[in-house]
Amino acid sequence: MTEIALALTEQASTTRRARRQRLQDAAFRNATLAFALLVLLILGGVTVSLIDGALPALRAFGFGFVATEVWNPVSENFGALAPIYGTLVTSIIAMAVGIPVSFGIALFITEMCPAWLKRPLGVAIELLAGIPSIIYGIWGLFVFAPFMQSTVQPFLISTLGQIPGLGNLFMGPPYGIGILTAGLILGIMVLPFITSITRDVFETVPPMVRESAYGLGATTWEVVWNVVLPYTRTGVMGGVMLGLGRALGETMAVTFVIGNAHRISSSIMAPGTTISASIANEFTEAVGDVYTSSLVALGLILFLITFAVLSLAKLMLLRLQRKAGV
């Protein structure tokens, strides 16, 4: 009887423990579901708020809001084409600078860097990512822009500016500030983000795969091109898209060095503006519903651009993963 009682007691304890574990799992699953739904709710709330705030401007100007360059608060005539142009061009310049430099740094750290230098260099890259954007802006305005005005821009004007067709991108006086300067600053800012992610995914390549390639007589470049990049292309693409998202939405550093001019110029050395810089500069001075609504509409456009870029990046990653699976 004692053994039967002990068995029944143990069985009851096991049943209670199993029931308690099921309740804990259900509570954990419901909590995580609630957190996920909260993110969607916040995203939906932001979207609805932007659309509601942008409606007066969209009703007043229609499609012309995104197709015209004029920005005149006095006559309450607003167009978003110049900020959209500045946002896209500065981001393209930033990616053109940041991606190859980031890849080079990541490859050096993972493939060729001496052991004693690898850790300090990695820490330096991570510290670079922690510098506030306003510090980049101040440095860009007082150090980098004068350097561009006295050295880089005159050189570009006298060389590339003399090439027919291409020279239009490098015309005009060397202001120092402008779209090119802002794009280069953004390139420096996105560099640590792309580098850190690229370095981390490069280090996930199994050492045996690398050693096998070297054992077959492959050079370092062949190992990188034929082994490392195919193995890590999904993570690398994710890092690039993260850097692009940072470039699209950067505000303070760009505001300092872009010139804040609502106009489109064929020269990338001319002053311009971006969506985030326009909002930061003018939101506190916006008087009237149409003016305020136009700035909110700029925010909605930036939101849509970022959402479109991230969606395309996700589709690209899915395609890469599918190809890798095949």
Mean pLDDT of 250-263: 90
Q: Please give the average per-residue pLDDT across 99-124, as a whole number.
A: 86
- Residue 326 predicted with pLDDT over 60: no
Q: What is the pLDDT of residue 150?
A: 92
In tens, the pLDDT along 223-239 reads 888 888 888 887 888 88
Question: Which pLDDT does position 272 carry in this prediction?
Answer: 92
Answer yes or no: are the C-beta atoms of 302 and 248 closer than 8 Å. yes
pLDDT value, residue 4: 66
Q: In this structure, are residues 247 and 190 in contact, taking their beta carbons and an 8 Å threshold?
A: yes
pLDDT at 320 exceeding the cut of 80:
no
CA-based end-to-end distance of the chain: 63
Any residues with CB less than 8 A from the CB of 258 and at least 6 apart, and which? 86, 90, 177, 178, 179, 181, 182, 271, 272, 273, 274, 277
Q: Which amino acid is at 58?
A: L
Higher pLDDT, 104 or 220: 104
Give the per-residue pLDDT at 294.
92
Q: What is the pLDDT of residue 145?
A: 93
Q: What is the pLDDT of residues 119-167, one digit of tens each?
A: 888 888 888 888 888 999 999 999 999 999 999 999 998 888 888 888 8
According to DSSP, residue 77 is labeled E
Instruction: Tell me the pLDDT of the chain averaged across its residues.
Output: 86
Rounded to whole angstroms, the Cα distance separating 284 from 83 reads: 18
pLDDT reported for residue 307: 87
Return the bridge partners of 71, or none.
78
What is the rounded distance in angstroms from the CA atom of residue 262 to the CA atom of residue 36?
40
pLDDT at 221 (0 to 100): 83
Query: So what's the pLDDT on residue 325?
Result: 58
Q: What is the mean pLDDT of residues 25-38?
A: 91
d(CA 89, CA 17): 61
* pTM for the model: 0.86
Alpha carbon separation from 139 to 41, 133, 173 (Å, rounded): 39, 10, 22
Burial 176-215 (b: 16+ CB within 10 A, else e): bbbbbbbbbbbbbbbbbbbbbbbbebbeebeeeebeebee
Q: What percent of the chain has pLDDT over 70?
A: 94
DSSP secondary structure letter of residue 210:
H
